[in-house]
Amino acid sequence: MELKGTYKGITVDYRTHSTLVTFAIPMPPAEVEKAFEGLYEKELNIKVTEYSPKRSLNANAYFHTLCRELANKLNETEPFIKNRLIAIAGQTDFTEDGNVWTIKTNVPVDKMWQQELLHVKPVKTKIENGNEVYFYAVMRPTHTYTVKEMSRLIEATVEECKEQGIPTISDADMERMLNAWGRQ
How many whole angstroms from its chain centre is CA 127?
Answer: 32
168 near 158, Cβ under 8 Å? yes
Distance from C-alpha of 114 to C-alpha of 58, rounded to nearest angstrom: 24
pLDDT at 55: 57
Beta bridge partners of 136: 103, 122
Phi-psi sector, 85: left (phi>0), alpha (psi -120 to 50), beta? alpha
Q: For position 143, what pLDDT does the model report?
A: 83
Q: How far apart are CA 146 and CA 152, in angstroms?
A: 10
Residue 184 pLDDT: 38
The predicted pLDDT at position 52 comes to 67
Cβ within 8 Å of residue 169, ≥6 positions away: 62, 177
The per-residue pLDDT for 62 is 87
How is residue 116 annotated by DSSP?
Answer: S
Neighbours of 132 (CB within 10 A): 10
Mean pLDDT per 10-residue run, the chain (184 residues)? 87 92 89 87 86 68 92 95 95 90 94 92 95 95 85 92 91 74 49
pTM value is: 0.67
Query: Residue 112: CB partners within 8 Å, gap ≥ 6?
Result: 83, 105, 118, 120, 122, 134, 136
Tell me what pLDDT residue 106 has.
94
DSSP string, 114-151: T-SS-EEEEEEEEEETTEEEEEEEEEPPGGG-BHHHHH
Q: What is the per-residue pLDDT for 57?
A: 58
In this structure, which amino acid lies at residue 138? Answer: V
Can you say how many angstroms the Cα of residue 89 is from the centroid of all Cα atoms in its chain? 10
